[in-house]
Amino acid sequence: MKQIIFNQKVVPASAKWAFAARRVNRHDAVGYGGDLYNARAGDLVLVEVQTIGQHKKLQLAEGRYSESYKGDLMVVVCGNRYAPDQFEGFAEIDYDGCDMLAGGGIVGRMEAAHDKMATPTRLRPLGLLTDRRGEVINIASYAIPDATIPAHVTVIGVFGASMNAGKTTAAVSLAHGLSRAGYAVEGVKATGTGAFGDFNAFLDAGVPVTDFTDAGMASTYKEPLERIEAGFDALVGGAAARGADIVVVEIADGVFQAETAEILKSSRIKERFDTSLFAAPDALGAVGGVSIMRRHGLAPFAISGMVTRSPLAVREAEAVTGTSLLSRDDLLDPEKLVPAMKHTLRNREQHAVQAA
């Protein structure tokens, strides 16, 4: 923990708390101050909105959007971001200002942007939040406890070819379909950037969910593989402790993203997956993605995603990959989903016996 040496000021009660900071006990935040240059990923920052850019709303800790206005005070989290369709940015805070990198309240220095993106919302940092000991508050201090994953729990990885390939829709539909089949299912977002879109999608489907922010990471970009693996263990192990038979684990971005590529190359995350589902935007993405997955010893039981919206693309992908394509509706239907997973799924009685 870092010690603050400047005079502290009371954190304003009017400040909006971002989703990425939701686990922090607000009563612990008794002041704020510098040294902003030494901010690290996960540190809480009090900022004032200077100009409204790409992110016009903040995702609140309460799980809803809040319209942003110039002069708003926000409690956000310093972090890295990797999003090919949006921003790449780093966990760096400058006294002159910082950028809103993600709507869940991840801030830092924007490095690169997709050309469809507007200029980032610009923020004036007022200081790092501190506790009663004068130490900087980091969300890692509020992480869920370490856990181990029991052998009887089925763990399914959901990967994709890219952003916006349909991973979250596939993961949520898979989890909902398995729940309808009678299994106790939880969702886990193991990698990505702190935001509530995917998180809320699982909840909307009636599936309990946790993500990497619960494991103390603002995002997993630039995090060591060992820390991501420990977070995976804690999240999946926690779901098992709550009674989950099956845990559906979404892995963010595409197979070429650095941390995803590390997971596929060699990790206990990959080794713990009982099977996988792959989401692709089109037939070529399906063919290339499944080839990469197979190369790493993780053959998907099916392909889903945006590709399934086109019957012609489905025929192309199935012909080349030899893998079944399941649409959102197929994943939601136990009569279609369970037979497709017959080599992976144990029935509820087998789960109960192995758990005992």
CATH fold of 154-355 reads Rossmann fold (3.40.50)
State the virtual CA torsion across 20, 225, 171, 285 in degrees, nearest 10.
120
pLDDT score recorded for residue 34: 74
Task: Quote the CA–CA distance of 258 and 4 in Å, as a whole number.
Answer: 34
Strands 302-304 and 275-279, bridge-based pairing: parallel
d(CA 250, CA 323): 20
**What's residue 353's pLDDT?**
42
User: What is the DSSP code string of 235-246?
Assistant: HHHHHHHTT-SE
Q: At 255, phi and psi to the nearest 5?
A: -70, -15
- Please give the mean pLDDT across all residues of the chain: 94
For 43, which DSSP code?
B
Sign of the CA dihedral with 33 first, then 39, 43, and 47 last: positive
Rounded CA-CA distance 184/191 in Å is 22
Q: Give the whole-angstrom CA distance, residue 261 versus residue 280.
A: 16
Show the low-confidence residues of the chain (pLDDT under 70): 1-8, 346-356
Write down the pLDDT at residue 346.
62
Break the chain into its structural domains and give their ranges.
16-139, 154-355
pLDDT tens column, 119-146: 999 999 999 999 999 999 999 999 999 9
Cβ–Cβ contacts within 10 Å for residue 57, how many? 13
% residues pLDDT > 70 (the chain): 95
In this predicted structure, what is the pLDDT of residue 343?
A: 83
Query: Can you give the pLDDT at residue 177?
Result: 98
Contact 263/300 with Cβ under 8 angstroms? no
Q: How many helices (H) does the chain have, and how many strands (E)?
A: 10, 17
Sign of the torsion formed by the C-alpha atoms of 199, 200, 204 and 206: positive
Question: Are the C-beta atoms of 304 and 326 separated by less than 8 Å?
Answer: yes
Which residues, at least 6 apart from 237, have a Cβ–Cβ distance to it below 8 Å? 146, 147, 148, 149, 150
